[in-house]
Amino acid sequence: MQQHRPIMFAGTGSDAGKSVINTGFCRILKQDGFNPAPFKAQNMSLNSYATPEGFEIGRAQATQAEACGIPCHTDMNPVLLKPTGETRSQVVLNGKPIGDRSAGEYFRSNNNQALFDEAFKAFERLRQRYSPLVMEGAGAISELNLKNRDIVNMPMALRTNAAVYLVADIDRGGVFASVYGSIALLEPEERALIKGIIINKFRGDITLFDDGKKIIEELTHIPVVGIIPYFNDIYIEDEDAVALDKKSNQAKEGLVNIGIVLLNQMANFTDFSTLEHDPRTHLYYSRDPQELEKADIIILPGSKNTLADLHFIRKTGIDTTILSARAKDKTVIGICGGYQMMGQTITDPKGIEGNLSTMEGLDLFPLQTTITEKKITKQVTFRFQNGNTLCKGYEIHMGCSTQTANVIPLNKKTDGTTEGIFMNKKCWGTYMHGILDNKEVIDTLLAPYTDKQSNDLNYLAFKEQQYDRLAAHLRQHLDIKAIYKEIRQTN
């Protein structure tokens, strides 16, 4: 296999769009006959995914691997930080948790050198199988107070001799200062790796920025290799829960209203991506009990801190809303952490999640859960409610749940075991992330509320189409030849 120079899309700040550009460029390289793979040394996200081998990585890298047409692997995201509260995160190394750390412990300790070395080993393993590697930075590249402990931005770019492209979000304003300042604060050897600047999320007539492009190039002595127009008609799964701020938070007349309880530590919000694109539904996220009352279907989603989020829904009165919805024969379902909350009790005897040791659940299921140190991460094939269709999903959870009465299981796995609880067609729970990506499950969920037939959306085919559309959009506005010239320079 021919080796190519890795490239990195880094940002002037968070949410500049580097993850989406990375995804699109992965697809461009695949289309052009390369053998690319994504790589992000460290990711902080509650949106994760299970690899085929049964390990955990950030969902964004799984999405990027999908754009490359390859299976996801832990080497694509060797360090994953999953926030468990305002100041603490679970550290996942090579797909398995190694403990929790506070932000102070993580960014002030010397242990980051060990993590840096582990991340580089993953990079080396990955580039034995794929080329070029399409790397992604995190946050801003010039956070001087964190620089000595940074394992994902310019230190990793230097160690891998990556060609770096700086992505700036012009939509938020201050693009000249953010680009110039980010580059000016770099060390000379770091600055030498910046091969191009990408102005992202441009609205309006691009020719009006001709002077701006010239000014940036004169200030930085680095070419602007692309001005990417803002788009909202291409769907790529979001990396961070910050994207939920842009989604609907209110019910809407005329469609099946599905209210997702917006938990503080909500995990795996991509569980609802397929539902979001179903023309029969209106999906919205809310922590307002009065707004959730308007839903036909209420979903309690996954959580990275189930006890704290259970305390939150009790404090805000959302628990009363959920119980009232069931009393009115509305649908209430729980996924992963939400499934645990709908049981009788949750206990955390070892304080894994924090200071709350035990809480009563909503008592909708005869289920008791104990939070455990062991984390379950695996992809699963199953049959939903004894159906004939094979469905797919994945489990990522810490906790062992025991049923305290005989119940009907929701799912039967292909290994012969069962999973979840089916109380009735309007009340069920499961550990299975991705369960709502399956047509049979969605049609069953919506059947009490609409006689409209499914539009037979094949979500996997839909995503493939979106990757191609994104690639076409980037091809139109990026200097692909200039970028290819850099990646064809071997280390």
Tell me which long-range contacts 308-313 makes (C-beta under 8 A, separation of at least 24). Answer: 308/85, 308/264, 308/265, 308/353, 308/354, 308/356, 309/263, 309/264, 309/265, 309/266, 309/337, 309/341, 310/341, 310/346, 310/359, 310/361, 311/356, 311/359, 312/263, 312/264, 312/287, 313/261, 313/263, 313/341
Q: Under a CB-based contact definition with an 8 Å cutoff, are residues 164 and 194 in contact?
A: yes
Query: Contact at 8 Å (CB) between 359 and 307?
Result: yes
Pick the catalytic residue: 26, 72, 336, 427? Answer: 336
Query: How far apart are the C-alpha atoms of 83 and 103, rounded to whole Å?
Result: 10
Q: Detail the DSSP E strand segments found in 40-126.
A: 42-44, 48-50, 56-58, 79-83, 88-93, 96-102
Calculate the alpha carbon distances from 128 to 36, 123, 236, 439 in Å. Answer: 11, 9, 28, 38
- For residue 43, what are the β-bridge partners? 80
| CA–CA distance, 336 with 339 (Å, rounded to integer) | 5
Active site residue 433: yes
Rounded CA separation 334/341 (Å): 8
- The answer to whether residue 73 is catalytic is no
Q: Which of 4, 73, 282, 433 is catalytic?
A: 433
Q: Which two tokens stand for residue 160?
A: 């891998």
How far is 237 from 466, CA to CA, in rounded Å? 10
Beta strands in 154-233 (DSSP E): 163-169, 194-202, 224-229
| Dist CA 55 CA 40 (whole Å) | 16
Per the CB < 8 A criterion, the answer to whether 339 and 429 are in contact is: yes
The catalytic residue positions are: 336, 433
